[in-house]
């Protein structure tokens, strides 16, 4: 599908230079859904450098499974760099994973909108985190995470620096059914 997505997006004037520069990009789902969701929670509203440092400490000090996160001391989680709110969010996610027995099969027949609604019931999981889950856990090919600053920076760089989020969503419509791949190219543009 990577080649098919690249070929389709190469026909768009906005993305064609990025596709030519980077070739087909792969959307590779994470092996562990819970670990990847925790990574997304860690990355909420912090710089990538800060998130990487926190992620390293959390993953070094704890087994990142629902049971282990629920068993972990909250102060120890905060000492690893999680804010009080993020401790609450990862614990809420852990509880939900245990209650609902989340795995790929659970989400397989749900639409992306239904996945976002399901995850949105977890405290601390909003549209951005839900879309990161759809992209990087489930490998959904048609998710456009306009909530992501990197995607918006990429759009401003390759399309129009005055675009609003609504403008970006509208501009991304022709990229269906490969908007997730378009996001991968926009992140490359934002990274320079």
Question: Each residue of 7-46: pLDDT tens digit?
Answer: 999 999 999 999 999 999 999 999 999 999 999 999 998 8
The whole-number average pLDDT for the span 160-181 is 93
Find the largest Cα–Cα distance for the chain: 52
Rounded to two decimals, what is the model's pTM? 0.92
Comma-separated ranges of CATH 1.10.1670.40 domains in the chain: 2-27+144-191
Q: What are the tokens at 5?
A: 């997505």
Residue with tokens 């972990």: 72
Q: Cα-Cα-Cα-Cα dihedral of 136, 118, 149, 155, to 10°?
A: 80
Statement: 2-27+144-191 belongs to CATH 1.10.1670.40 = yes
Architecture of domain 33-136: Orthogonal Bundle (1.10)
Q: What are the tokens at 174?
A: 């022709």
Per-residue pLDDT, 89? 97
Question: Each residue of 43-102: pLDDT tens digit?
Answer: 998 888 999 999 999 999 999 999 999 999 999 999 999 999 999 999 999 999 999 999
Comma-separated ranges of CATH 1.10.340.30 domains in the chain: 33-136
Residues 6+ apart with CB under 8 A from 43: 51, 55, 132
Question: Each residue of 86-141: pLDDT tens digit?
Answer: 999 999 999 999 999 999 999 999 999 999 999 999 999 999 999 999 999 999 99
């Amino acid at each position: 599908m990577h080649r098919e997505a690249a070929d389709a997006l190469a026909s768009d004037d906005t993305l064609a230079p990025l596709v030519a520069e980077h070739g087909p990009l792969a959307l590779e789902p994470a092996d562990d859904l819970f670990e990847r969701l925790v990574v997304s929670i860690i990355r909420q509203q912090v710089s990538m450098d800060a998130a990487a440092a926190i992620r390293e400490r959390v993953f070094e000090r704890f087994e990142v499974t629902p049971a282990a996160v629920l068993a972990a001391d909250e102060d120890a989680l905060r000492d690893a760099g999680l804010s009080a709110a993020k401790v609450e969010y990862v614990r809420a996610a852990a509880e939900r994973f245990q209650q609902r027995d989340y795995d790929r099969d659970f989400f397989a027949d749900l639409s992306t909108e239904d996945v976002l609604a399901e995850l949105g019931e977890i405290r601390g999981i909003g549209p951005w985190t839900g879309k990161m889950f759809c992209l990087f856990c489930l490998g959904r090919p048609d998710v456009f995470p306009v909530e992501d600053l990197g995607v918006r920076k990429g759009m401003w760089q390759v399309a129009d620096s005055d675009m609003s989020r609504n403008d970006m969503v509208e501009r991304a419509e022709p990229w269906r059914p490969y908007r997730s791949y378009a996001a991968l190219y926009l992140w490359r543009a934002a990274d320079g």
